[in-house]
Amino acid sequence: MATRRVVQVYLDLLSQPCRAVHILLNCNKIPHTVRTVALRKGENRTPEFTKLNPMNRVPVMEDNGFVLTESDAILKYLAAKYDVPEHWYPRQPEKRARVDEYTAWHHNNTRPHAAKVFILEVLVPAQTGSPVDEGRLIRALSQLDDTLDKLESMFLRRQPFLCGDDITVADLLAVCEVMQPMGGDRDILKERPQLQRWRSRVQSAVSESFDQAHAVLYALRDRRKAKL
């Protein structure tokens, strides 16, 4: 009988959804191997990776031949398969619905709006050598501001975490997006104490796996700061 391999994940830790998957795996001590895919080096466009994922995106999970893309799907699969503590993706219908509501809303809101700030401030200038497009950045920050307002007033409200009293996969997805502009040394939660406190609670809940996942992002920030 062939030995079952541990689950394999293809990640670039500069990618927000990759970090969410990384944190879930590590703080639940789920046995896994990480294969690094450096997007900036085009490692997602190799024939080998394209065969694995024709959309050339990360994260990708491979479980003994079963290949899965999309961080939402991967997080939910891992939570179910490895029987992690229930709070990550609660079973009770109303509680689960709150997590599903957030993970759906996230795609069109937190994810693109936080990513855009990072893309405009860090990625585009790095790739093109041109200065930051200030006009577009201001508009992106304004849009992000609206989204953070909603994150606070619609989801967090007076709760400890986005979907209730305990941390869920929703918090992982959100926190990783909110951290991304840190790569350009921008803390988008600077003027938002409520969300800052939420972020701290998330960090505490996942302990060292937070900084482990974000090490590459911090290094990027530090390199950029050193250049200034």
Partner 1 sequence: MSLELYLDLFSQPCRSVYIFAKKNNIPFEFKNISLLTGEHYEEEFGKISMIRKVPAMRDGDFCLTESIAIMLYMVQKFKTLDFWYPADLQQRARVDEYLSWQHMAIRMHGSKMFWLRLLIPKVMGVEVPQEKLDAALEDLNGSLKLIEEKFLQDRPFIAGDHMSLADLVAIVEIIQPVGAGLDVFEGRPKLSAWRDRVETAVGKELFDDAHQAILGAQESVKMMDPSKMQLFRPRILKLFM
Binding-site ranges for partner 1 (CB under 8 A) = 54-55, 66, 68-74, 76-77, 80-81, 93-94, 96-98, 100-101, 103-105, 107-108, 111-112, 150, 153-154
Q: How far is the CB of 59 from partner 1 (least distance, A)?
A: 12
Specify the residue, 137 or 203, whose C-beta has the smaller distance to partner 1: 137
Q: How far is the CB of 155 from partner 1 (least distance, A)?
A: 10
Specify the residue, 26 or 69, whose C-beta has the smaller distance to partner 1: 69
DSSP assignments along the chain, one per residue: -PPPPPEEEEE-TTSHHHHHHHHHHHHTT--EEEEE--GGGTGGGSHHHHHH-TT--S-EEEETTEEEE-HHHHHHHHHHHTT--GGGS--SHHHHHHHHHHHHHHHHTHHHHHHHHHIIIIIHHHHH-PPP-HHHHHHHHHHHHHHHHHIIIIIITTSSBTTBSS--HHHHHHHHHHHGGGGGT--TTTT-HHHHHHHHHHHHHHTHHHHHHHHHHHHHHHHHHHH-
Specify the residue, 148 or 216, whose C-beta has the smaller distance to partner 1: 148
Q: How far is the CB of 210 from partner 1 (least distance, A)?
A: 23
Q: How far is the CB of 128 from partner 1 (least distance, A)?
A: 21
Specify the residue, 47 or 93, whose C-beta has the smaller distance to partner 1: 93
Q: How far is the CB of 185 from partner 1 (least distance, A)?
A: 27
Specify the residue, 33 or 153, whose C-beta has the smaller distance to partner 1: 153
